[in-house]
Structure 1
Amino acid sequence: MQAGRVGKWLGKHGVNPDLWSFRRGPVARAMVAGLLPATSPFLGLHHVLALFLAVVMRANVPVAVVVQTVNNPLTIPIYYTTAYHVGEVMLGRPATYENRIGEKIKKLDATDGIRAKLRMLAGELALVAVPLLVGCTVIGVVLSIAGYGLIYAIWPEEHPEKPKGGGATRGPKKKPSHGPFA
């Protein structure tokens, strides 16, 4: 499958046609470009990060943007809870924070002054942010590798089209590139 009309037009105007191509390589790279930001804790930036990574990796932009929507309002509570626990395990800490949430809320209510409350909230955020970021990164890398491998496992290999007219091609044969940034 070739880049199509849009991809050819963009290619003629200085834009890489792989950004719109539905060939195996650009789609596999789009899985990475979409799953990494989808698993990040940076809510609101997922689309922008997927678009940026797709351009840098020469991946299919529409696929990358669609794939990043796996993390949506229905999956966020489950995903971020899991990511927090994975981060705690990776950091070698027991995941006991959620057991103390009730006492933290009571302590926050008993605290006087907005500055003291904000300082307390910032301290609590730091306790949660590091394991969450570590867990999101670990899960993102694992899911991205799995998504990339899945595309290469289920997508048939492309064979170059024969030249029209039955003539032999000139020049050395190119080896197919299978790397993530091919």
Structure 2
Amino acid sequence: MRETFWPSAGWKRAIQYGWRRVWRLSGTPHAIAIGVAAGVFASCTPFIGFHILIAMLVAWVLRGNLIASALGTFVGNPLTFPAIWLIVYEVGKYMVGAPAGPDPDIAETLQSDRAFDMILPLLVPLTVGAVPVGIVFGCVGYVMTRSGVEAYQLRRRRRLAERSQAPAPFLDPNPPAGETRD
């Protein structure tokens, strides 16, 4: 459990490992990048618990890699959600023309008897704002992922080509006396 919230090798290593997992997926760089972009898009929505489902649906419609879409949802996590949702909420408020003024107090909203009535004014701007913000963040994720996957696949092809060009070690079917092959 501790490893989930604070990796023993550090966050940098965990993030590098995650990117390497994405780069090694089978598929075209475009399909993998579409999948990651779908996951990033879904992470911008306020529908916690449905991010992977939303990401896979978007990736399926856009013919992206479904596994990459699930991995892309890890952009949204307890460390990044506050910043993502603040941006999404402000964009959504602007788009729906919400009046300027004090925002509802979240703690008060959750303790209130009429919590559902108070959540709706938050949910509408979050949902509306998630679309443009998710598209922008998804496009950034697409570009980063596609370039990373293309570079990884090119290095891999070159490495395999070099191995196939290397001469095979000579194996004498009749080793000299006193030597044995293992």
TM-score after normalising by structure 1: 0.57
Following superposition, the deviation at residue 123 of structure 1 comes to: 2.5
Structure 1 equivalent of residue 64 of structure 2: 59
8 Å contact from structure 1 (residues 54, 60) kept in 2:
yes
Q: Of 80, 100, 105, which aligns to 1:101? A: 105
Cα 1:58–1:95 change in 2 (3 A) is: same
Following superposition, the deviation at residue 62 of structure 1 comes to: 2.3
1:139-154 matched pairs, under 5 angstroms:
139-153=133-147
Helix, strand or coil at the partner of 1:43? coil
8 Å contact from structure 1 (residues 34, 64) kept in 2:
yes
Structure 2 equivalent of residue 36 of structure 1: 41
Following superposition, the deviation at residue 56 of structure 1 comes to: 3.2
8 Å contact from structure 1 (residues 85, 95) kept in 2:
no
Residue identity (%): 27
| Residues paired across the two proteins, number | 129
8 Å contact from structure 2 (residues 45, 126) kept in 1:
no
Following superposition, the deviation at residue 30 of structure 1 comes to: 1.1
TM-score after normalising by structure 2: 0.57
Query: Where does the alignment leave 5 or more consecutive residues of structure 1 unmatched?
Result: 1-19, 110-116, 162-182
1:75 aligned onto 2:103: no
Cα 1:24–1:53 change in 2 (3 A) is: same
Helix, strand or coil at the partner of 2:45? coil
8 Å contact from structure 1 (residues 88, 131) kept in 2:
yes
Q: Distance in 1 between matches of 2:147 and 2:100?
A: 36
Query: Where does the alignment leave 5 or more consecutive residues of structure 2 unmatched?
Result: 1-24, 158-182
Deviations 1:128-163 (A, max 9, x none): 11111111112101112222234445535x89x9xx
1:127 aligned onto 2:121: yes
Following superposition, the deviation at residue 55 of structure 1 comes to: 3.1
Kindly name which structure, 1 or 2, has the bigger radius of gyration based on alpha carbons: 2
Helix, strand or coil at the partner of 1:40? coil
1:6-17 matched pairs, under 5 angstroms:
none
Cα 1:96–1:51 change in 2 (3 A) is: same
Q: Distance in 1 between matches of 2:139 and 2:97?
A: 24
Structure 1 equivalent of residue 91 of structure 2: 86
Q: Distance in 2 between matches of 1:79 and 1:45?
A: 16
Q: Distance in 2 between matches of 1:57 and 1:129?
A: 26
